Structure formats: C-alpha cells, structure tokens
Amino acid sequence: MSPNSPPYPCRIRTCSALIANGTLCPAHRGKVTVIYGPPGSGKTTWVEEHKERGDLVWDFDVVMTALTRLPRSEKPEECIQIVLAMKDALVREMADHSIERAAWIIVTHEDDARRIADRLGGEAIEVSVAEAVRQERLNERHQQAVGAGRQ
Ligand SMILES: [Zn+2]
C-alpha cells in the first residue's frame, strides 16, 4: 500500500478520524443546506436570516448580476448555461474537497435540491409562501424592472 492510499486522516490535527476521501471527517465538515422553492417564495431572504458571517452562499441571481452587470430581471439565455455550469463546478469542488464553513445553496426545483444535498451530505429545505404573496412579490419585481428600464 502506498502512503497516499486511503484511509486519510482528517485535516483537523486534533481529530483522529480516518476518511476514505475528501479532506475532513463528517464531524468537521461545514453543514450544507440546499434551499428550494419557486421564484418569489423568499429563498434569498430565508438564507440571509439563517446564515452566519463567512458562510458560502450560492445564489443564481447574484452570480448572474455579478457576471453581466445587468439588472436582476435580465438573464441573457447564453449566460444562463454559464452560471449553471459554475454551480455544477461549485458542487463538484465541495464534493471533492469538503470545507469547514457552512454553505447555503439556493435552487428552484426540489429534484435539483435533493440531488445536491445527497451528493454533499447536506439537507434540502423547501421555502414556501402563500401563492397570493408570491405573485405580489413577482409583480413588485416586474414593476422595479420596468422602472429600472426607464432610467
Ligand atoms: Zn475530523
């Protein structure tokens, strides 16, 4: 057996756990929470209320805005695939190299949330709100987008 075959020691020096892959034992891995729900259900707000300083947050809209410098309502089709590929890369990286800090990953669909949570040993949580409230929020966003377009 070569010195580099599993099991590997946990990266935390004082920890005696041995692991098959990754860099941290389950006890030292940051908690992964995958939030899902339709647009306007309050996912981003929910994460803001629950996360702690320094936690990782994946938010499609924030990444899209950072990449394109466009208003939140504008999501160019050709950029959507790029941002989704970035999300896949994040999940892959976190699966291969676990980290100590907690991570919150915001997605729309339950199947996507469960797939990511399973892969990262995390939890999938649904955020929901009354349909009337959700529609009202979407209308507000639309009005803001129309207003921003006029400027
Ligand atoms: Zn450990």
pLDDT tens digit sequence for 25-70: 888 999 999 999 999 999 999 999 999 999 999 999 999 999 999 9
Compute the Cα dihedral for 111, 113, 118, 119 and give only its sign: positive
Q: pLDDT, tens digit, for every residue of 125-136?
A: 999 999 999 999
pTM: 0.86
Task: Please state the domain extents for the chain.
Answer: 29-146
31 CA from centroid of ligand 1 (Å): 14
Kindly give, in sequence order, each residue whose CB lies less than 8 Å from that of residue 22, ignoring residues fewer than 6 positions away.
29, 96, 97, 98
145 CA from centroid of ligand 1 (Å): 47
16 CA from centroid of ligand 1 (Å): 7
CA distances from 56 to 29, 82, 88, 96 (A): 13, 20, 15, 16
24 CA from centroid of ligand 1 (Å): 6
Q: Which helix (H) or strand (E) holds 43?
A: helix 43-50
Query: Residue 13 in contact with residue 84, Cβ under 8 Å?
Result: no
61 CA from centroid of ligand 1 (Å): 34
Other CB atoms within a 10 A radius of the CB of residue 29 amount to 22
Confidence of residue 147 (pLDDT cuts 50, 70, 90): confident
137 CA from centroid of ligand 1 (Å): 43
> Is CATH 1.10.287.90 the right assignment for the domain spanning 29-146?
no
Say which range, 50-59, 80-89, 100-109, 137-146, has the weakest mean pLDDT. Answer: 137-146
93 CA from centroid of ligand 1 (Å): 19
